Amino acid sequence: MKRDAVDHFLAQWHAEVPEVDVTPMGIVGRISRMSRLLEAGIRPTFDAAGLQRSEFDLLATLRRTGPPYRLSAGQLVTAMMVSPAAVTLRADGLIAKGLVTREVDPADRRSVLITLTAAGRRLVRQLLGKHVTRERELLAGLTDREVAQLAGLLRKALVGLGDTAPEEGQP
């Protein structure tokens, strides 16, 4: 099997400090490097549409929740695992592009609602197939069985870190 860059780093550590088991460093390092490589591989799809990936994430979060494609800013913070300031910044950019609207929640004037516009829904629909196809291409080095195995292992690791699914009916 071909060695990756992390194998090289681990061998260096082993040579320098053989008494330390750096196995966890290999896992975390590979996940981190993979994240950066995947991000670079995905970015062109969104660049071509004049979006940042973070903007698409907000649009996709609204779209996958179903009609009326609306969430409070607080629900977006929770669903996207970002700060309130990040949601505000992303929403501002998407409002300027006509892809979402923001309004005060009539049921709770302290809260704002972010709603996907018809143009936003069309854009998500247009990009979703391209995005998934690109992700599939990026994982082409794995068999279908390996993809399923990796998904299961990553899920198990995330649950172990406390990243569990929200209650039913939550975004």
Spell out the domain ranges in the chain: 53-161
Rounded Cα–Cα distance for residues 22 and 15 (Å): 11
Mean pLDDT, all residues of the chain: 94
pLDDT tens, residue by residue, 101-125? 999 988 888 899 999 999 999 999 9
Q: What is the CATH class of 53-161? A: mainly alpha
pLDDT of residue 170: 66
Secondary structure percentages of the chain, helix, strand, coil, to 5: 65, 10, 25
Residue 29: CB atoms within 10 Å: 16
Does the pLDDT value for residue 96 go beyond 70?
Answer: yes
pLDDT of residue 169: 65
Does the pLDDT value for residue 83 go beyond 90?
Answer: yes
- 47 Cβ neighbours under 8 A, 6+ residues apart: none
Predicted model pTM? 0.85
Does the pLDDT value for residue 137 go beyond 70?
Answer: yes
